[in-house]
Amino acid sequence: MNKNWSAFNIVSVVFGFTFLYLPIVLLIVYSFNASKLVTVWGGFSTHWYSEMLSNQGLMDAAWVTARVGLLSATVATVLGTLAALTLVRHTRFRGRTLFTGMVYAPLVMPEVITGLSLLLLFVSIGFERGFWTVSLAHITFSMCFVAVVVQSRLVSYDMSLEEAAQDLGCTPFEAFYKITLPVILPAVIAGWMLAFTLSLDDLVIASFTSGPGATTLPMKIFSQVRLGVTPEINAVCTVLIGFVATGVIIASLINKRRMVNNARTDADI
Amino acid sequence: MTVRGFSFSAPFFKPDVPFMKSLGSTRRSFTPWLDADAKPYISFQNVTKKFGDFVAVDNLTLNIYEREFYSLLGPSGCGKTTLLRMLAGFEEPSSGEIFLDGVSLKGVPPHKRPVNMMFQSYALFPHMSVRDNIAFGLKQAGIAKAQITERVDAILKLVKLEEFAKRKPDQLSGGQRQRVALARSVVLRPKLLLLDEPLGALDKKLREETQFELMDLQQDLGLTFMIVTHDQEEAMTMSDRIAVMDKGTVIQTGTPAEIYEAPNSRYVADFIGTVNTFEGKVVEKTDKMTTLLGNDGFTIEAVTTDRSALTKDKMAWFSIRPEKIKVSRKKPEKQTNAVEGEIWDIGYLGDMTLFNVKLDSGTIMRASVLNAKRTVDDPIGYEDRVWLSFDPDAGIVLER
Amino acid sequence: MGSFFKRITIGLPYFWLCILFLLPFLIVLRVAFSEPVLAMPPFAPQFDLSEGWQGFVQSVSQFTTYNFQFVFEDSLYTNAYLSSLRIALISTLLTLAIGFPLAYGMARSPMTIRPILLMLVILPFWTSFLIRVYAWIGILKPEGLMNQFLMSVGIISTPLRIYNTEIAVYIGIVYSYLPFMVLPIYATLEKMDYSFVEAARDLGCSSIGAFWKITARLALPGVLAGCFLVFIPAIGEFVIPELLGGSQTLMIGKTLWSEFFNNRDWPVASTVAIILLAILVVPIVLFQNAQARATEANR
């Protein structure tokens, strides 16, 4: 045990994590509440999960969210990776300052403004609001997050790897595709996951840019929450948390196994 | 004595060398640069490279011959790596042209150049095994699978890495990684192999062993090597010729012995090895001898080696290596090339002993004495008065 | 790099951001200088491109700064800006008060459990913001879990009114942004050499003195980064005040939302947005300077 790990330290850590996790734990616990009142425990039940599954509105919203998430995360990952490459490698081209600004600005831009501005764009060009406008909006802000994630990996990436590949007969694109991409893949996947969860979570931008028939899950949850807290919403939230947590844990397990595998080959020889 | 067809210690002659003597043992009698008819293999012609306002390489002209082991030696930032990267195709010259085997390399992208490079960081692909790393270039060239296996096996054997073929780079030691990088760059049998600080990441002992391995490999495969290093010992050991660079220009090119024994400037003399430098005024100059009156109060008689405008009454440098200085308790018989001082510091290195001697003028002069015998009758100690002396051809007069 | 691949690398994201980030922003700017009308879209002038340059010039001449005057003169908006800044500032300090001990405790924790603790701080990042805020409603409501608990153990006899007050907003912001505060502070503390503190003690500092003069001083870049990372997004926050703050909590994100969705006054909403951005520029520039200095110092 570390001699500097004092009682005070332990108390702050325990307190901090209790604060971080207690609300989520309570939310999950009360999703299994038999009572209709969220705050009164009436015994264990999965009633609200079946209720949730038979709620067509919720299911439709979930389906929209899944499609928007998959599409926007994928496109955002491509664009964000390209943007990261540009930020790290192409230090001299016309309009670089503008480009850098445009990549970083959405990170600090309040969501209400991003949503408003995109809505105004879609209205001005007469683009009908719905699935596509939400997807475009999500691609735009999540690609910047992907860019930052991939960029931080690229900064420590040894450029001579790609030069070596070119030296051994690769065109610049081949060198990127065969060497750089596999090496930075964990960061690219992390970027995709981030983009997907951003899309999954987004309420504000979707509210601005969505139209009839393209209500996303957060929008649906939000409108129901305004009417009051229900165990059904707790159930939806629990499923979402479970889904995301599973994804994150699987990803970190894969990462860990890869490292273990490397270590094992090491031991074999 | 001959090794693989090359005779060692072969004397060669050059007008600059006094009394037509040889300058120490050299690696082999391989001197295409003295042959006026020999065609250079690589030729830099008035090459300049600028990064913004910074001139990395300044109007440089260089010729390198086939099968030569050529070193670019200089401090970091002298432009040597830029020179290498221009050959590999990662940088284009701002002006001037580079020729490889008579063909201009202008506009040829890196993947189309018959040149391979071994990177300072080794740049081993971390997601590929040793075998895949080495096979990468062959696959890229579209060579048949069976042949790839054969060639990779052969090179793995050559660099003694057969057992490690399946490992990933991060499971190798520094020396093994270095050999993989080397194997990967020579398996394509490039016309020219560029090595950027190839031994820089190895520890001293491994570096010394690897130097000889590199030399053997180069001779076995009959390749032309161009190597960038800031380590003068490394350059001296391995090279046929060395180009000493500073601030984007080549100060001197020559064999290791020429660079060491006949530096053309104080910069080169200081950069390679240890040197004592004295300032003095030319009091007499003939074709054979130059006499200086040193600022430290003794007269220096040195063999005339330069054909420059150094004339009487001009100030000049005199440079002499520590191992060429004799240390004695008694005054030598000759009046010149001898000066008295007090032992200031002694460094015992085992094979030799270093003496820092404080002259009466206050200047510290370094002499090294080989410990050829195990025992000494009358060892020189601290604060002893000693005489330092040297022969007329032991040092060299340099222009200021 | 090959020129085609390079062109795609730069061009594609550049083009995308110009169309979907820069252009929308310019449109917001334009709408902010327009007048509201009862039409769709509900603002004037519209650019009439059929009349070419003449039409454009004509439209521009109809621009008005009326909305800005309106926003500046109406105390509703100025109060909303001021209270946003106040709430963001107070929440930031509260987050620091909880986040610093947590980060410090983590950095001093045994090597073996550090990765797990770090993972536990990062995990909430991945869970939905909306859900995390929602989770507090059930706790803070008058008949909620916290009041139930406190009343059952007898600390209070009547329910505390926290839900739908500013206090709930503070709790929500601290809770949602805590990882943003903890991570940069942890990063600076974790790489700090503990022998600095030991050296200070050796040279005669008390343990509290050593903490202030060494640990707190060296953690300063992380603390600053954490504070900005909480403060900047908190100003424009919408979900937290909307769900936890009730009608009496005034924040500019909420005002913009209701201006747009309830009053359908797009020009005023755009004006509110432009002024909000102008306010945000100050902390963002300060943050960037602090970051630049930190990287400089690390070199």
CATH number of A56-268: 1.10.3720.10
As a whole number of angstroms, the distance between CA C219 and CA C177 comes to 19
As a whole number of angstroms, the distance between CA A42 and CA A1 comes to 43
CB distance C239 to C259 below 8 Å: no
Q: Please give the average pLDDT of every successive group of 10 residues along chain B, which has 400 residues.
A: 36 40 60 81 92 89 91 89 91 92 89 90 92 93 92 91 91 90 90 89 83 86 90 88 92 90 88 88 83 82 74 85 89 81 90 90 90 84 88 84
Amino acid at C38: L
C-alpha closest to that of B186 among B208, B158, B147: B158
| C43-54 pLDDT, tens digit each | 766 665 566 666
Report which DSSP code applies to B107.
T
Residues B165 and B105 in one domain: yes
Secondary structure class of B59 (helix, strand, coil): strand
pLDDT attached to residue B12 = 37
Query: Is the pTM value of this prediction over 0.90?
Result: no
Measured between CA atoms, the residue of chain A closest to residue C96 is: A16
pLDDT attached to residue B163 = 92
Question: In this structure, what token pair is assigned to residue A181?
Answer: 């991409």
As a whole number of angstroms, the distance between CA B165 and CA B169 comes to 10
Task: Answer yes or no: is B257 within a domain.
Answer: yes
Residues B32 and B154 in one domain: yes
**Domain termination residue (choose one: B266, B288, B309):** B266
As a whole number of angstroms, the distance between CA B226 and CA B117 comes to 9
Contact yes or no for A8 and C105 at CB 8 A: yes
Cβ neighbour number for residue B20 with a 10 Å cutoff: 9
C-alpha closest to that of B337 among B389, B285, B291, B284: B389
Residues B296 and B358 in one domain: yes
Q: Is the confidence at residue A268, as pLDDT, over 50? A: no
Q: Edge-to-edge strands of the sheet including B69-73?
A: B115-118, B192-196, B224-229, B69-73, B241-246, B249-254
Task: Answer yes or no: is B1 within a domain.
Answer: no
CB distance B390 to B319 below 8 Å: no
| A193-239 pLDDT, tens digit each | 999 999 999 999 999 999 888 899 999 999 988 887 778 888 999 99
Q: Which residues are CB-contacts of C71 (< 8 A; sequence separation ≥ 6)?
A: C77, C78, C268, C271, C272, C275
Q: Which residues of chain A make contact with C1, given a CB cutoff of 8 A? A: 89-90, 172
pLDDT attached to residue B244 = 93
As a whole number of angstroms, the distance between CA B195 and CA B115 comes to 11
Calculate how close chain A gets to C71, using CA atoms only, in Å: 16
Question: In this structure, what token pair is assigned to residue B73?
Answer: 């030696």
CB distance A207 to B223 below 8 Å: no
Q: Please give the average pLDDT of every successive group of 10 residues along chain C, which has 299 residues.
A: 80 94 91 77 65 67 80 88 95 95 91 88 85 89 85 84 91 94 92 82 81 85 92 92 88 90 87 92 88 73
Strands B289-294 and B276-285: antiparallel
pLDDT attached to residue A263 = 57
CATH number at residue B377: 2.40.50.140
Task: Answer yes or no: is B5 within a domain.
Answer: no
**Closest partner residue to A160 among B119, B136, B137, by Cβ?**
B119
Calculate how close chain A gets to B146, using CA atoms only, in Å: 19
Residues B206 and B157 in one domain: yes
Residues B254 and B316 in one domain: no
- Using the Cβ of C22 and the Cβ atoms of chain A, whether some distance falls under 8 Å is answered with yes
Measured between CA atoms, the residue of chain A closest to residue C105 is: A9
Secondary structure class of B9 (helix, strand, coil): coil
CB distance C240 to C176 below 8 Å: yes
- Using the Cβ of C170 and the Cβ atoms of chain A, whether some distance falls under 8 Å is answered with no
As a whole number of angstroms, the distance between CA A156 and CA A153 comes to 6
As a whole number of angstroms, the distance between CA A219 and CA A131 comes to 13
CB distance B263 to B247 below 8 Å: no
C-alpha closest to that of A75 among A145, A151, A142, A127: A142
Q: Which residues are CB-contacts of A199 (< 8 A; sequence separation ≥ 6)?
A: A65, A68, A69, A72, A73, A138, A142
Residues B259 and B278 in one domain: no
Written in H, E and C, the secondary structure of chain A is CCCCCCHHHHHHHHHHHHHHHHHHHHHHHHCCECCCCCCCCCCECCHHHHHHHCCHHHHHHHHHHHHHHHHHHHHHHHHHHHHHHHHHHCCCCCCHHHHHHHHHHHHHCCHHHHHHHHHHHHHHCCCCCCHHHHHHHHHHHHHHHHHHHHHHHHHCCCHHHHHHHHHCCCCHHHHHHHHHHHHHHHHHHHHHHHHHHHHHHCCHHHHHHCCCCCCCHHHHHHHHHHHCCCHHHHHHHHHHHHHHHHHHHHHHHHHHHHHHHHHHHHHHC
pLDDT attached to residue B13 = 35
- Using the Cβ of C121 and the Cβ atoms of chain A, whether some distance falls under 8 Å is answered with yes
pLDDT attached to residue B28 = 57
Q: Which residues of chain C make contact with A17, given a CB cutoff of 8 A? A: 102, 117, 120
| A107-163 pLDDT, tens digit each | 888 999 999 999 999 988 888 899 999 999 999 999 999 999 999 999 989 889 999
As a whole number of angstroms, the distance between CA C144 and CA A141 comes to 36
Residue-range domains of chain C with CATH: 65-298 (1.10.3720.10)
Residues B209 and B317 in one domain: no
Q: How many domains does chain B have?
A: 2
Q: Which residues of chain C make contact with A109, given a CB cutoff of 8 A? A: 277
Q: Which residues of chain C make contact with A5, given a CB cutoff of 8 A? A: 105, 108-110
Question: In this structure, what token pair is assigned to residue B41?
Answer: 């293999």
| C171-193 pLDDT, tens digit each | 999 999 999 999 999 999 988 88
Calculate how close chain A gets to B67, using CA atoms only, in Å: 20
Task: Answer yes or no: is B384 within a domain.
Answer: yes
CB distance B86 to B97 below 8 Å: no
As a whole number of angstroms, the distance between CA B319 and CA B322 comes to 10
**Domain termination residue (choose one: B266, B294, B327):** B266
Q: Is the confidence at residue A61, as pLDDT, over 60? A: yes
Q: Percentage of residues in chain C with pLDDT exceeding 70?
A: 91
Question: In this structure, what token pair is assigned to residue C30?
Answer: 């334009």
Strands B192-196 and B338-348: unpaired
Q: Using alpha carbons only, give the angle A121, A126, A132 rounded to the nearest 5 degrees.
A: 75
Contact yes or no for C101 and A16 at CB 8 A: yes
Report the sign of the C-alpha dihedral through residues C208, C209, C213, C214, in that order: negative
Strands B385-389 and B299-303: unpaired
C-alpha C39 chain-centroid distance: 34
Task: Answer yes or no: is B346 within a domain.
Answer: yes
As a whole number of angstroms, the distance between CA A51 and CA A64 comes to 19
**Closest partner residue to B166 among A163, A169, A269, by Cβ?**
A269
Residues B258 and B282 in one domain: no
Q: Residue for token digits 């502070």?
A: C185
CB distance A166 to B186 below 8 Å: no
Calculate how close chain A gets to B374, using CA atoms only, in Å: 47
CB distance B175 to B198 below 8 Å: no
Interface test with A, best of C19, C25, C133, C163 (most A CBs within 10 A): C25
Residues from A in contact with B at Cβ < 8 Å: 158, 160-161, 163-172, 174-175, 179, 182-183, 262, 265-266, 269
Report which DSSP code applies to C238.
-
Q: Is the confidence at residue A2, as pLDDT, over 50? A: no
Q: Which helix (H) or strand (E) holds C171?
A: helix C166-191
Contact yes or no for B125 and A160 at CB 8 A: no
CATH number at residue B45: 3.40.50.300
Domain ranges of chain A: 56-268
Among residues 220-259 of chain A, which lie with CB inside 8 Å of chain C?
A: 221-222, 225-226, 229, 233-234, 237, 240-241, 244-245, 247-248, 252
As a whole number of angstroms, the distance between CA B259 and CA C108 comes to 57
Secondary structure class of B31 (helix, strand, coil): coil
Measured between CA atoms, the residue of chain A closest to residue C23 is: A121
- Using the Cβ of A15 and the Cβ atoms of chain C, whether some distance falls under 8 Å is answered with yes
Q: Which residues of chain A make contact with C277, given a CB cutoff of 8 A? A: 109, 113
Q: Residue for token digits 């009349």?
A: C51
As a whole number of angstroms, the distance between CA B116 and CA B189 comes to 9
Secondary structure class of C242 (helix, strand, coil): helix
pLDDT attached to residue A269 = 41
Calculate how close chain C gets to A267, using CA atoms only, in Å: 23
Q: Which residues are CB-contacts of B326 (< 8 A; sequence separation ≥ 6)?
A: B332, B367, B388, B389, B390
Cβ neighbour number for residue A88 with a 10 Å cutoff: 17
**What is the signed CA dihedral for C80, C82, C86, C91, rounded to 10 degrees?**
40
Radius of gyration of the CA atoms of chain A, in A: 23
As a whole number of angstroms, the distance between CA C125 and CA C243 comes to 19
Q: Is the confidence at residue A4, as pLDDT, over 70? A: no
Residues B211 and B99 in one domain: yes
Contact yes or no for C134 and A197 at CB 8 A: no
Q: Which residues of chain A make contact with B127, given a CB cutoff of 8 A? A: 182-183
**Domain termination residue (choose one: B211, B231, B266):** B266
Measured between CA atoms, the residue of chain A closest to residue C278 is: A109
CA distances from B69 to B61, B65, C268 (A): 18, 9, 75
Task: Answer yes or no: is B9 within a domain.
Answer: no
Residues B150 and B278 in one domain: no
Contact yes or no for B120 and A158 at CB 8 A: no
| C190-213 pLDDT, tens digit each | 888 878 888 888 887 888 888 888
For residue B254, what are the domain limits?
A: 14-266
